[in-house]
Structure 1
Amino acid sequence: MPSKKALSLTAMAAALALGLTACGGGGGGGNDGGEGDPLQFGYVFPETGDLSFLGPPQISAAKYAIQEINEAGGVLDQELPGILAGDEANDAAQANDAAGRLLDQDVDAVLGAAASGMTMAIIDRVTGAEVVQCSGSNTAPDLSTYDDGGYYFRTAPSDLLQGPVLGQKVVDDGNQSVAVVYRADDYGQGLAESVATSLEENGAEVVLNESYDPMGTNFDSVIQQVSNSDADAVVMVSFEEGVQIITGLIEEGMEPSQMYSADGLNNENLGELVDSGDPGVVSGFQGTAPGVDNPEFDEGLTEFDPDLEVFQYAPQVYDCAMVIALAAEAAESTDPAVYVDQMTAVTQGDEQCTGFAECRDILAEGGTVDYQGASGPLDFDENGDVTVASIMIYGFAEDGTHEAQDFVETTPEGTVE
């Protein structure tokens, strides 16, 4: 099966035409003659809505990357202008409108969306306009083979990498019968399938595998199904609606130590959301999320934004911006239709480097770079996916404090020992 990155010229032309139509036939196709224009970033992140806790770390990381790039002299000796904002709000229509406004302002790259479902809402519009899109938090497996014309990349690992780590953790804790409940969307279904497969491969029985409407207001049915299953543990692939499920399961007599989740509930304030008067009620709750043990990056981002409390996906978004900037340097162009060909190359070159200035100088001397990201080695494959991922196992202490318990490096071939 041919790679999704090998789109034919005919299909590419059709995609471009679609993108121009979607943008009213005016701008929106990136900066024309981009070689002479400064690199313009835009983002589509959740500033409002039930995923708004993911917005601040991603927005700050993007701005932090731009500041570092500008302190190093900018891209192609031009300072990057301020990033243009767009709110996805975990609403498909609003996310699409936000992407359209960015394209109308001739952005050269779009960072985001944060949620896989919101990327599905904007990807045709962005990549069809031949603008590079890079997400630091999309994990839905279906995005790997999505027909994006070669313009979509992600620095977060597919749930095909996270699922086995979560499944292994649940079994390692001694659970033999497991209920899996998940939100009925691309993210929920993809991760739930990956986790269920891992559980069964590790000898556990999946006694319940049930989806639910994430837009619902009452989750009593799914709570009762889990309770009636008599499972040793439950895996919830949820966003903030999972707070209601956790609360209901506790009321049914289930212990938080029997509950597991993933990045959608990796919220440092989870205890307060479940019970503001007793955050320790979630003590023992565990989960997995793409995450890295990189205190140097965390310190730098904290110095840049002292008010930042949540760091989830910040390194991955930072890396999106850095790779795009390096690709433009390598291509000697800020036109996304030109620099897109260097996106994978700057993660697989001959000389390893970390900061923008170090990598840029190697390129200027005629070398090729293997950018080592804040989120780890990237090594984009033909689908724009990372091939090595760091997964954090998180939990909550007796007082409800969020803590990183371990970090596991994994590849499509399995966990790296």
Structure 2
Amino acid sequence: MSGRHLMSGAVVAAVSVMTLAACSSSDSGSSGESSGAPSESVSIESTPAPAGLGLAQKLNCPTVEKATPGPVSTAALKVGTLLPATGSLAFLGPPEFAGVKLAVKDINDNGGVLGKPVEEVTGDSGDTTTDTANATVDREIGAGTQVIIGAASSSVSLKVIDKVATAGVVMFSPANTSDQFTCYRDKGQYFRTAPADTLQGQALAQTMAADGVQRVSVLALNDPYGTGLATEAITNLEAAGIPADQIQKIIYDPNAQSFNAEVDQVKNFNPDGIAVIGFDESAKIITRMHEVGIGPTDGKSVYGVDGNMGNALGKAVGAGVLKGMKGTTPLTNTGAEFEQRLKSVDPSLIDFNYGGESYDATVISALAAAQAKSTNGRSIAAQINSVTSGGEKCTSYKACLDLVNQGRDIDYDGVTGTLDFNEAGEPSIGSYGILEFDGSNKLLSPVRKYVSVAGK
């Protein structure tokens, strides 16, 4: 269980940077060496939402849909994956696939679900340039999966969410962060273990403001993730005191052959801080920035986000190009032991982002089925929020299953820490790491950690 703290009373009650001494990579959940940098403590607060409002009112949702249990089924639980083996987020795929595979192993080693082993049905999500996700969903629904873990990309999830929900299958993303999902009409079948970008926008803006940037360019890919996070970051930059006319926003096509025009716009604006909100195309953008003298090693403060802050980015650009680049990512202290367990199912892992979130999504789904005493997808969905909050604390599938079998209410705290899902089926707590690349284009351990909280 990570050292995150629960605070309440607002849709986004606070973003705080907790003191975190320079850790080893085993403490951070990311690859790299200890940075040796000093720890800091900074905090900002936003205006609390009015007391006494339900989640739907606080978020201006018409309503938050809830799942209706379906007929009881004792068939074996089948968990499908809709994760990126190919496409622009393929670098995130390995730890996510490993998280699901490890969870299925742990579940089956401890009795399975309703006395039967869980079956894993592996599938690729691709990206928005292909129809891979639709083909995978059709195949997995046809195979009788009751739970689909994925997608990683918010845009890919939006392409298939209606099909999955209508089929009565649970769709459980370990990495979607777009704000669109909080109020989405998903029949109560959609869940995620990653926090919404309303929180990451604050974390990114506060990181930049704390570094003293005064003139900012924001480059963001044109999809719900990119545009949503850009909007949140700019809103919070303005709230931190940076005038609107000192902020440039550029939305780009991630499938473009060249980003020269966009980078030239940034150079002409002459910012002291540049945020790149993108996926694997970020390597081309940052390479071009370096070529025209506005990269991380050229006196500019350059920032990334969870879509690009991985060691895979360092392998895709020239030697030393990323030195000093910082970025935010949802980050929890999964620890060295869990990372080694992930490597036991995939020894080639170099990043661990969202491995814990994938593991927890799978375990939560299995516990919800056990609590429902049914593997019907709608029945599982009806129990998911319940098994993450309000009951007796437990931190492993075995411990939680023992309590469920005794008829006791459980509160699963997973490898990513306290979850406490709200009515919308997403964490009420978001934890963020501030990562930085060294001169070898490798991520240092985070020296600061945000703990962001959304009201229930």
Flag whether TM exceeds 0.5 (same fold): yes
Which residue, out of 44, 65, 69, partners 1:5? 65
Relative distance call for 1:34 and 1:64 in structure 2 (3 A) is farther
The alpha carbon displacement at 1:389 in A equals 1.1
Residue 168 of structure 1 is matched in structure 2 by: 206
Which residue, out of 271, 292, 303, partners 1:231? 271
Q: Is the 1:3–1:383 Cα contact (8 Å) retained in structure 2?
A: no
Can you list the C-alpha shifts for 1:356-389, whole angstroms capped at 9, x where unaligned? 0000111111211111011121111111111101
Query: Counterparts in 2 of 1:17-56, with a 5 A limit?
Result: 35-56=73-94
The aligned amino acid for 2:163 is R
TM-score, structure 2 normalization: 0.82
Distance 2:140 2:445 in 1: 36
The aligned amino acid for 1:271 is G
Can you list the C-alpha shifts for 1:321-379, whole angstroms capped at 9, x where unaligned? 01100000111111112222111000113211110000011111121111101112111
Which residue, out of 305, 317, 320, partners 1:262? 305
Question: Where in structure 2 are there 5+ consecutive unaligned residues?
Answer: 1-60
Extract structure 1 runs of 4+ deviating beyond 3 A: none
Relative distance call for 1:155 and 1:182 in structure 2 (3 A) is same
Distance 2:315 2:82 in 1: 28
Relative distance call for 1:308 and 1:322 in structure 2 (3 A) is same
Query: Counterparts in 2 of 1:4-403, with a 5 A limit?
Result: 4-6=64-66, 35-81=73-119, 83-91=120-128, 93-205=131-243, 206-256=246-296, 258-275=301-318, 278=319, 280-295=320-335, 296-403=337-444
The percentage of counterpart residues that share the same residue type is 35
Q: Is the 1:181–1:209 Cα contact (8 Å) retained in structure 2?
A: yes
The aligned amino acid for 1:358 is A
The alpha carbon displacement at 1:33 in A equals 6.0
Distance 1:232 1:38 in 2: 56
Q: Is the 1:61–1:315 Cα contact (8 Å) retained in structure 2?
A: yes
The alpha carbon displacement at 1:130 in A equals 0.8
* Structure with more relative contact order (C-alpha pairs < 8 Å, separation 6 or more): 2
| Greater percentage in helix | 1
Q: Is the 2:295–2:321 Cα contact (8 Å) retained in structure 1?
A: no
The alpha carbon displacement at 1:185 in A equals 0.6
Q: Give the match's secondary structure for 1:253.
A: coil
The aligned amino acid for 1:270 is L
Q: Is the 1:389–1:411 Cα contact (8 Å) retained in structure 2?
A: yes
Q: Is the 1:393–1:407 Cα contact (8 Å) retained in structure 2?
A: yes
The alpha carbon displacement at 1:404 in A equals 2.8
Distance 2:367 2:151 in 1: 21
Distance 2:349 2:413 in 1: 24
Q: Is the 1:293–1:407 Cα contact (8 Å) retained in structure 2?
A: no
Distance 2:65 2:342 in 1: 33
Distance 1:52 1:271 in 2: 15
Q: Is the 2:72–2:373 Cα contact (8 Å) retained in structure 1?
A: no
Query: In the comparison of the two structures, how many residue pairs are matched?
Result: 387
Which has the higher mean CA deviation after the structures are superposed, 246-255 or 180-189? 246-255
Which has the higher mean CA deviation after the structures are superposed, 372-381 or 89-98? 89-98
Residue 35 of structure 2 is matched in structure 1 by: none
Relative distance call for 1:34 and 1:101 in structure 2 (3 A) is farther
Distance 1:96 1:173 in 2: 43
Distance 1:127 1:133 in 2: 7
The alpha carbon displacement at 1:312 in A equals 1.0
The aligned amino acid for 1:179 is S
Q: Is the 2:325–2:436 Cα contact (8 Å) retained in structure 1?
A: yes
